[in-house]
Amino acid sequence: MAAKKGRGLLGERLRGVEEVFAEVRGQLMGKIGIGLIVFFVAVSLYALATVPLSFANKWLDLTYWSKYPVVVPPTWVSHFGTPVAPFLDKVIDGPDSVQVQPVPLQYHGVRLFGVVERFSFDYNLKQPAFPQGVLVYARDVELENITAGGRLVTPGEVSLTVAVFLHRPDNLTILISDASVTTLKDFVSSGGVVRFSDQAVAQQMVEYYRKKGINMSLGYAQNNAARLAFGVYDPKTREIKPLTGTYTIEVVFNYLARGVNPGRLVGEINAGNIGVQSIEGVVKGSAYGLMGTDNYGRDLYRALLFAFPIELLIGFVAAVVAVVIGLVVGVVSGYYGGWVDEVIQRSIDVIGNIPVLPILVLVGAALQERGASGWTMLFVIIFLLVIFGWGGLALIVRSMTLSIKSEPYIDSARAIGASNTRIIFRHIMPQVIPYAMASLVFNVPSAILTEAGLSVLGIRHNLPTWGTVLAQARDYIFSGGRYDIWWWILPPGLLMGLMSIAFVFLGLALETVVEPRLRRR
């Protein structure tokens, strides 16, 4: 056999890999496979760059998502005919006006007296769909004490009434929040949030329709509060139709501090020493984002994106480690033989007999009971996948090693004094590497699918992965939710399938490398 010019040990081993790549590149399926994998890696890099690692924690913090609509499809469904109420999230930097209200005034059912600060923003509802609700956050609230009349007035002594009004396109104005009286200090310490109030809206709506001669029960009104607020009830069809047009949402903060001249208070608010300086107004529409939301309002697009690198990590780490172990063990077992071979073979046999899924689920459940963290569980799952994964390749590599071992050129190499290591790395390794790569290709999707399967079963590592998202969809439906949540169910499964297809195509193309008999003449 003509000796190849020395490319070094590394070069020799790479020879096998290079041959593989050349073959694969030349086939259509291989091209598609590689293309898809490149796409996945690119998206993963994009994900790592744009979504911070802390997203994993945000995923679990449900209050973070309270301003988003729940269980809504992506916004682009409007192009396909489904009407969509847009999602609005706007910061209003300064009030429209801060005025003194010298005498008590009844403003749409709310008593205003003292200092009245108004913010407002518009909401354009162009398509006939219902928003889910309205939220107002007081973003920038100043809480300095003010001296007045020789005394220090603290925010705890400033009484505050907060009310949110909805001015509809049909010139009806209703109060859409509770208008309870609290103090400035309490308002801030309880979060500074004003929520849409079903009861307030319901009462007003029942009253409004009663005046028109239409009977409506309070219970019905409460259950359909958001729809009534943004729609019109038709007694003939007993349906609520959305009211399109421009709505104005007015947020009123009514301050009253005893012993403080209201004019003085206005001055302090304007100067930015006390009171609400800016607000964030949110109208939860009926659609959100590129991929919709789940039952907690979590943005599925960001979750699925975040999961890309995690899925690749799971697949690659589990598969690569398993393949490397299988390769090494297979060669050692085949080459050295003897009791080492026996032991290794027996171990593979035992492992092969273990029912994989039950043991995985068992370990997962046991760890969950102990309260292991998300990343720990992920690590354990990968570890187990590796343990169950290296055996198949080891057997194949071993048998190949055995047949190569008996080739004449091995004997010649030994006769001229080649050491065992040299023989292994120079002659055996390059020939078994194509098998290793083929095995890699099939192990990756299986690892990903198994992890997803475990999530569906409830072994939660609480990190957002495609499997976790699917699992939560299933839980939601099985506990009585909607079942037509296509945007929630289809994308994760399709993504998993796509990634697996990428590797399977790669594997099919590799097949011709591994089985020379199959090469087209």
For position 150 contacting another protein by CB under 8 A, the verdict is no
Residues 35 and 501 sit within 8 Å (Cβ to Cβ)? no
> If binding is defined by CB under 8 A, does position 61 make contact with another protein?
no
Show the 3-state SS of 144-185: CCEEECCEEECHHHEEEEEEEEEECCCCCEEECCCCCEEEHH
Residues in contact with another protein, shown as a per-residue x/- string from 70 to 89 under the rule CB under 8 A: --------------------
- 133 or 364: whose CB is closer to another protein? 364
Please state, in angstroms and rounded to a whole number, the distance separating the CA atoms of residues 326 and 438. Answer: 12
Report if residue 440 touches another protein, rule: CB under 8 A: no
Subset of residues 216 to 255 that bind another protein, contact rule: CB under 8 A: none
288 binds another protein (CB under 8 A): no
With CA atoms as reference, report the closest residue to 455 among 443, 441, 473: 473
417: contact with another protein by CB under 8 A? no
Are 218 and 171 in contact, with CB atoms under 8 Å apart?
no
Cα separation of 294 and 58, whole Å? 14
**Count of CB atoms situated within 10 Å of the CB of 11:** 12
Residue 353 touches another protein, criterion: CB under 8 A? yes
Please pick, from the candidates 41, 48, 172, 489, the single residue that binds another protein as defined by CB under 8 A: 489
Among positions 30, 309, 392, 434, the unique one binding another protein when judged by CB under 8 A: 392
**CB 363 to another protein: min, Å:** 6
For residue 415, the tally of other CB atoms under 10 A from its CB is: 8
Q: Choose which of 94, 169, 192, 337 interacts with another protein (CB under 8 A).
A: 337
Of 43, 193, 363, 410, the one binding another protein by CB under 8 A: 363
Question: In the numeric block, which tokens belong to residue 20?
Answer: 């593989």
Backbone phi, psi, residue 294, to 5°: -100, -165
List the one residue from 456, 460, 462, 481 that touches another protein (CB under 8 A): 456
Using alpha carbons, list the distances in angstroms from residue 337 to 330, 351, 402.
Answer: 10, 20, 9
- Using the rule CB under 8 A, give the single segment among 9-17, 63-71, 148-156, 342-350 that binds another protein: 342-350
Best CA proximity match to 261, nearest among 185, 151, 156, 181: 151
Helix (H) / strand (E) element for 447: namely: helix 429-457
Name residue 166's beta-bridge partners: 174, 249
What are 356's two structure tokens?
């994989």
> CB of 470 within 8 A of CB of 457?
no
501 sits near another protein (criterion: CB under 8 A): yes
Interface characters, 466-485, with another protein (x: CB under 8 A): ----x--xx--x-----xx-
Residue in 346, 376, 409, 411 binding another protein, rule: CB under 8 A = 346
Chain-centre distance for alpha carbon 270:
41
Cβ atoms of 96 and 279 within 8 Å: the answer is no
CA 157 to chain centre: 43
* Number of residues binding to another protein, judged by CB under 8 A: 65
User: Does residue 511 touch another protein according to CB under 8 A?
Assistant: yes
387 touching another protein, by CB under 8 A: no
| Smaller CB separation from another protein, 173 or 399 | 399
Binder among 362, 375, 383, 419 for another protein (CB under 8 A): 362
Query: Which helix (H) or strand (E) segment is 133 a member of?
Result: strand 133-143
- Does residue 396 bind another protein (CB under 8 A)? yes
Residues forming the site for another protein (CB under 8 A): 337, 341, 345-346, 349-350, 352-359, 361-363, 365-367, 369-370, 391-393, 395-396, 398-399, 402-403, 405-406, 439, 442, 445, 449, 452-453, 456-458, 470, 473-474, 477, 483-484, 489-490, 493, 496-501, 504-505, 508, 511, 515, 517-518, 520
